[in-house]
Structure formats: C-alpha cells, structure tokens
Chains A and B, each alone.
Chain A
C-alpha cells in the first residue's frame, strides 16, 4: 500500500492503494468516478481513455504510482456542463448508441484535436485507430470530430 497524491478534474486527491493498481480502478472503485469505462483492461479497446498531464492515455495501463503529483482529466471533468466543443459536436451528430465507448472516444477525440486542430480523414483514422465501438458509430464520430474542428463533415467519409 502506498499513498499517492494527484489531481482529478482540478481537485486534489490522496489515495492509499496498491502502487500497481491501475488508475482505472482507483477512479472507478476508490473514488467512485465511473465515467471512465472498463472495456478490456488490456489497452486494446480505448474505453478507459482519459488525459494524464495533457496526454491521452489508457487508464487501465497506467499504474497509480505513475500518476503521483500529476493532473488527470476524466470525461466528468472535460467540461463543467457537457459543453466542450467535442461534446457539443457529439450531440449534434447524435453519435452515441449504447454510449459505453463514448467517454473514451470523446477523450481521445479531444486530444486528437489538440494535436490536429483541423484533422483530415487520415488524421482521424490514425488518431482514433484503437478506440473500438461495437455499436458501429465510427461514421458519426468522424463527422463529429470534423464539426468540433469547425469543418464540414468531410467529403470522403462521413454523414
């Protein structure tokens, strides 16, 4: 057991847990922040994507000891009231079906837009490559990312 101090969505937190416990479970079980989802626990699906020190990472692959003194942003903290441009674009395109993958998709997309303020379809293919959606919302995700960038849905792919 180790004491780890870090910040989540601007609030400072201290937990006393196994240093190898993934950030995913610290958030979900210890802190009760369930917006970040468990989809595989193996870094393959992207459901647990959040921002750590400004980078998009997989919470299931991030031991809590590596989070010490860092800043974490989860879907709950992306905006106060769901009005981040990516969230707004997501609602506009009515992206979600079951919605389970969407927190991870949104966090990944928000980070992608920081890297590429006007992403091409190729940038989206690469940036969103490892975020799985079993409901098949990819086309609407692509469209929503373009819209969040202030671009039209795109000519190649998208609605």
Chain B
C-alpha cells in the first residue's frame, strides 16, 4: 500500500482512498512519467454504504473500452462483493483523486488491475476484522462471501459492518486472492454502463446541460497555421438567439442560447484569414517531400548483425505508403467550461484530464486547486480525446461570456481540425539465404513525428517506431532507419499509434519474402520464430512462443491448411498477419478471408482473430475490443485517407471519409489464449494485424500486391 494514507472515517460508510503503488508503465519505449507535467500516480476509491451499496471511482476515462467494468471486477473479486450491488462513478481531477494522467496506449488494465485489487482486498480485510472483533473470534476463521462476512453458520452483511470497519487501521499488505479462486475475473461480465446506454440515460460530454449555459460554434482557419485578419460579425449578431461573438486563439466563436442559433450565427460571420505559409500545401507536395527524404539515410533505430551491409546483390525491394488519417469518433469533439473568478469547472469527455491541466492553468490563469475537470462518458476516443483543444476553446469562451459555455464541433470541424495519424513512406529491401530465410532486412521509412508535432520532450522517433524497430522475426542482419520529415499537419495519437501503419508494411513485406521463397506464409513466419527464449526488443521483451501460438491458433481456427490444399474459388483469398504489441503485453494474429470482384471491389467476409493478452479479465469485453479494433482497422484499410488541397483538409463528413457500415462488416471470430500471465491491453492490439492480413489475402486471391493504403478498387485494377 502506498505511503500516503488518506483513510476517511465515516459512521455511515466505509470509504477508502489511497495513493496506490503503480506498476511502472512505458509507452513507445518511454517511461510515461517523462511526459510533461504528469506524475502518473493515480488513486483508487471505494465506498461501501450501510445499505450494502458498493461504489467504485474509476480513474481512467471510459470511451467504450470497458475499463470501468474491468476496474469494478478487480475490486469486487477481492472484496467478495455481490456484483449486483456494485456501481461505478468517475473520478474528477479533484486533488483527492490524484493525477488522472491520460487514458491511452492500452495501458489502463496494465496499470490499474493490481492497484484496484488491492483496494478490494484492503476493504475485505477490514470487514473481516470488524466481524471478528464483534463476534470475539479468530479472524482467520472468518471469510468474505458474496457481500457477507461468514464465520461457521453466522454471517453479517458488509453494510452492517462498515461503521466498525471504518474505525480500524487498514492492513499494510492485504493478501490477494489466488487466481484459481477467481469467480468474477475470467468470466463474461456485461458492461456496467449497459442499462444507461440503451435507455438514453447515459451522459456523454455533449449531453451536459448547466444552468445559463450557452452553446458555441467556432469558425477556425481552414489552413493550418493561418491567422485571423478581420471579423465582420454584424449579420451573425443579428441572428435570433446569438448572445456573443468572441475571438479566441483558434478562431471566432459564436455563442447562442441553442446549437442551431450558434450554427446559423457562425454561418453569417464574414471572416478574412491570413492563410500563412501553408496556403499552397497539398498531398502531392508532402508525398514529394517524403520521397526526397527517403533517398538519404535516417536515424538507425535498430541494428542487428551487419545491418544493411549484409544485403546481397539479389534483393527484393518494395515501397509502401500509408496516408494521414482522422479519428472520426462518433461523438464530435465537445467540451464545457464554467469559468468564474477564482474557480473553473470543466465537463469534458477527455482522455487526458491530467495532460490537459497545464493548458487549462495557462488559459484560466488559475492554479490546479482552483480547477476541476469532470469526465462524462466519451463518445469514442481512439486517441483524439487526449488533446486539450476542445477544453481550451470552451475556457476561452466562458472566460469572456461569464457563463458556462459548451463548444460543440460540427462533423466537418471534427474532421478538418483533428490531430491526425501521420502519413508515412517506406522503402524495404531484403535478401534471402539459400534456405529461403531472410538473411538481411533493411527498412527505411519517413514521416512526421507525433512527439515533435505536439512539442513533447520525447525524442521525435519515440512515437513512430512500433511495428518496425521491434520486428519480432529472427533475421541475422537487420537495419531499421527512421527519417524525420515534418509537415504542417497537426498530429496526434490514433488507435495503435505507429502500430497502425508499420505492421502493415512489415507483415506485407514478410509475405512477399515468403512468396519469393516459395514458402507458405504461415510456415515461413513460424520458422522465423523458432527460438523459445524471450528476448529484448528495444525496451520491451518479446516472447516468441506467444506470437507463434496466436499465429497457429488463428490459422487453425480459420482452416488455413485445408484452404491452401483445396481448389480455391476464383477471386477468394486468405491472408495472415500478426503483431506482438509489446508495449501493452498482448499478442494478436488474424486471418482474413476476402473476395475480390472483377471490378476491383474488395469484400471482407470473415476475420479470425487469436489474442493472447495474458490473464483474460473479461473475455466478453476482450472479444468486443478485438471486434472493434478490426472494424476500426477495416475502415482505415479500405477507405481511410485524409488529403490536403490548398492547405485545407478535403474530407469533411462520412460521405467523403467513408467508414465501414453494417453491410460491409465481416463476420469476426475471436479466440482467446488461456493464460495466467499479467493482463495486457486490448484496446489497440486488435487493429495492427488487420490491414496486412487483408492485403495478404488480396494477394492470395489475385496475385496482386497492394502496397498502398487504403486498399481501393482502383489500386486493385491498376496493380
């Protein structure tokens, strides 16, 4: 248990509020505490009321990944609680909850599972002591069971013990349950938020309604880096319902007493922009910039053996490219701020309440103790909501208007003012040994840096390497180089971050090598993962056995062997890909079955997914996250592309930035490897293998190798 103990004594309830020891967590090979302005030491909370109600405070934001339910399971398991009595609430940035940091990187389960178990175990031990004292018996003869403390055939409900328990000193090292005794963890538990979500009661950020709140719509410069030249707001102010027109740092905000008036007022604004140096920027220029940068060496981020010097004269070479992407969460960005003299309340669906604090302090001029960020449910996150922009806009509006203000992005605002997944260009060369195994592998790629774009103190490559520098296969001579090529496009974290593009490149190129060697792509992969010993890859540890196992499992369940022996239907293909998501300790392999029509249309019929995420806390949710990662990845693989023309993002709605819908959503089967290893993350790992599995299946179906995302019918016809 942590050093600082803040044990709240209350006659009516048992409240536990500790600072919890955290597992050291890394992201992109960097200890998270390197992030600016955060200490990443969350607190956990539990209250048991006299009526037996159990309330748990979640210190990570819920965006659909099911973390609130997993946290509650961890507490309830150790507490031996009656699950029907468990409720979950959301921690705010109030000091009593500690620093909430950021919810991302598939780190929440890794970072909080044990601390939340300790919270439950501590409460259980206190309740046992309270009962033992009252019955004057040896506490070793007492146990907790489904909301009661039991001794022989006596039992007492938790609620009847809380008054006594709250007067006791919490134990230092409460024993944790043996995993073989788990009765909640490892079972399919439905989302605690489910009933609220299906009834319309659940409160998302955009559902916040405060007395006197105004609705704001913001016109921002269409060109990144442009500045406001002049504002004519006469017509805007004449729109009934419009209350204020305010110039803020990102543009001009129209505040009205309803969203419709705000939108109409904004439409009536006459603004002139100085579009600045990026007014001519377009996607073709960025592509040329990448091409030029790729000609000269980059920073060597991994080298094994002789590196590229071992490349023989007979090489297999390929160029791959991946586009910029928007997040397009279902709920467009939104934030509410209520700034008063000496006090600021924020209601924002944020993945980064801790990360946002510095910016909020700066925008308000207030201290952290005068600011509180409340976190409603997030209508999707995928990394986008770790940025503070929507909070700061609301703060700036509320500061001037003197009332609570909601800034609501429109769909085009959301798509055109995102923090995008970077585009990249890759060149790979390899030479094969006589056995067909790769003897040397050289991968040079270029793109802008997320870390640099966000002005983080991390090295610029830190956010770009997963899936490339941590290549899992045994290749004696290996060289990976990253060449920085920054653009004016704002960048941010997008589900799986660099593992959203690098594994597409490496897993497809490996497939190319397998075909060049006349080997089955599955067998080829397995022969390159022969050694059993764990090995260090960068800062993380790879367990080749776990990667092998998910490959074999996915292949077996997909009927890989039978498929490749059978006579194949025309246009149908099967492809395989895998990724060891080492930063969050999870391994995933996928087999995709596709059909390519004569007109180039790609239909994905089925995806079989095998996942080893260590201990499976909630299999029902793990399957959901794999399904979600696959569909999100499929939208990107088949359709996703953000392009620039005259410095402006072209795409504005789901009409121009299409996503997977019901009719094109494949059948997804998820198989979970049984494991007692520490639980890993599941929010991101389902995504990386999807695009390469599909591209490899397209090759299997047509003999055409697509090396550019998205995988469009035009590219199929041209290949």
Chain A residues close to B by CB (< 8 Å): 1, 17-18, 21-22, 25, 28-30, 32, 34-42, 44-45, 47, 74-76, 79, 81-82, 87, 90-91, 94-103, 106, 124-126, 128-142, 156-159
Please classify how large the interface on chain B is, using the bins under 10, 10 to 19, 20 to 34, 35 or more. Answer: 35 or more
Q: Chain B residues near A25 (CB, 8 Å)?
A: 258-260
Roughly how many angstroms separate A44 CA and B654 CA in the complex, as a whole number?
Answer: 7
Q: Chain A residues near B207 (CB, 8 Å)?
A: 28, 34
9 A-B pairs with the lowest CB-CB distances in the bound complex, closest first:
A35-B200, A136-B631, A98-B64, A100-B379, A97-B64, A75-B200, A99-B197, A138-B665, A34-B207
Measured CB to CB, the closest approach of chain A to B495, in angstroms, equals: 10
Is B199's CB under 8 angstroms from A100's CB?
no
Roughly how many angstroms separate A126 CA and B664 CA in the complex, as a whole number?
Answer: 11
Roughly how many angstroms separate A95 CA and B197 CA in the complex, as a whole number?
Answer: 10
Q: Chain B residues near A37 (CB, 8 Å)?
A: 204, 206, 330-331, 379
Measured CB to CB, the closest approach of chain A to B611, in angstroms, equals: 15
Is A41's CB under 8 angstroms from B200's CB?
no
Is A96's CB under 8 angstroms from B661's CB?
no
Q: Does B655 contact A (CB under 8 A)?
A: yes
Q: Which A residue's beta carbon lies closest to that of B69?
A: A94
Measured CB to CB, the closest approach of chain A to B242, in angstroms, equals: 12
Is B663's CB under 8 angstroms from A91's CB?
no
Q: Chain B residues near A157 (CB, 8 Å)?
A: 665-667
Is B377's CB under 8 angstroms from A99's CB?
yes
Is A132's CB under 8 angstroms from B332's CB?
no
Stretch of B159-167, B177-185, B186-194, B303-311 with 4 or more beta carbons under 8 angstroms from chain A = B186-194
Q: Which B residue's beta carbon lies closest to that of A30?
A: B258
Is A96's CB under 8 angstroms from B631's CB?
no
Roughly how many angstroms separate A32 CA and B206 CA in the complex, as a whole number?
Answer: 12
Measured CB to CB, the closest approach of chain A to B407, in angstroms, equals: 13
A94-B624, A103-B200, A136-B665 given; 17 more Cβ-contact pairs under 8 Å = A18-B260, A25-B258, A28-B259, A34-B207, A37-B206, A39-B330, A91-B198, A94-B191, A98-B63, A99-B379, A129-B662, A133-B631, A134-B380, A134-B382, A135-B380, A141-B662, A156-B667
Mask of B630-641 contacts with A, CB within 8 angstroms, 1/0: 111011000000
Is B662's CB under 8 angstroms from A125's CB?
yes
Is B332's CB under 8 angstroms from A96's CB?
no
Q: Chain A residues near B379 (CB, 8 Å)?
A: 37, 98-100
Is A98's CB under 8 angstroms from B378's CB?
yes
Measured CB to CB, the closest approach of chain B to A62, in angstroms, equals: 12
When A98-B64, A102-B197 are in contact, do A136 and B627 touch as well, CB less than 8 Å?
Answer: yes
A-B contact pairs, 9 of them (CB 8 A): A34-B206, A76-B201, A98-B329, A98-B331, A132-B654, A135-B64, A135-B632, A137-B627, A138-B660
Measured CB to CB, the closest approach of chain B to A25, in angstroms, equals: 4
Pick from B63, B257, B624: contact of A140, CB under 8 Å? B624
* B 591-627 contacts with A by CB, 8 A: 620-621, 623-624, 627
Q: Chain B residues near A21 (CB, 8 Å)?
A: 258, 260
Q: Does B651 contact A (CB under 8 A)?
A: no
Chain B residues close to A by CB (< 8 Å): 62-66, 188, 190-191, 193-195, 197-204, 206-207, 209, 215, 240-241, 257-261, 263-264, 328-332, 377-382, 408, 410-411, 620-621, 623-624, 627-632, 634-635, 653-655, 659-663, 665-668
Is A94's CB under 8 angstroms from B380's CB?
no
Pick from A1, A106, A126, A141: contact of B240, CB under 8 Å? A1
Is A44's CB under 8 angstroms from B628's CB?
no
Is A94's CB under 8 angstroms from B627's CB?
no
Q: Chain A residues near B64 (CB, 8 Å)?
A: 96-99, 135
Q: Which of B201, B330, B659 has the most CB of A within 10 A?
A: B330
Q: Which B residue's beta carbon lies closest to that of A157?
A: B667
Roughly how many angstroms separate A36 CA and B623 CA in the complex, as a whole number?
Answer: 28
Q: Chain A residues near B660 (CB, 8 Å)?
A: 136, 138
Measured CB to CB, the closest approach of chain A to B412, in angstroms, equals: 9
Is B655's CB under 8 angstroms from A99's CB?
no
When A29-B258, A39-B330 are in contact, do A139 and B380 touch as well, CB less than 8 Å?
Answer: no
Pick from A17, A74, A101: contact of B330, CB under 8 Å? A101
Q: Chain A residues near B663 (CB, 8 Å)?
A: 125-126, 129
Roughly how many angstroms separate A73 CA and B629 CA in the complex, as a whole number?
Answer: 33
Q: Chain B residues near A100 (CB, 8 Å)?
A: 204, 329-331, 377, 379-380
Q: Chain B residues near A29 (CB, 8 Å)?
A: 215, 257-260
Is A96's CB under 8 angstroms from B193's CB?
yes
Q: Chain A residues near B328 (CB, 8 Å)?
A: 134
Is B667's CB under 8 angstroms from A32's CB?
no
Is A87's CB under 8 angstroms from B198's CB?
yes
Pick from B193, B621, B627: contact of A99, CB under 8 Å? B193
Is B665's CB under 8 angstroms from A40's CB?
no
Roughly how many angstroms separate A124 CA and B621 CA in the complex, as a whole number?
Answer: 24
Roughly how many angstroms separate A116 CA and B156 CA in the complex, as a whole number?
Answer: 52
Measured CB to CB, the closest approach of chain A to B586, in angstroms, equals: 18
Q: Which B residue's beta carbon lies closest to that of A131?
A: B662
Is A42's CB under 8 angstroms from B193's CB?
no
Is A136's CB under 8 angstroms from B628's CB?
yes
Is A74's CB under 8 angstroms from B662's CB?
no
Measured CB to CB, the closest approach of chain B to A157, in angstroms, equals: 5
Q: Chain A residues near B380 (CB, 8 Å)?
A: 98, 100, 134-135
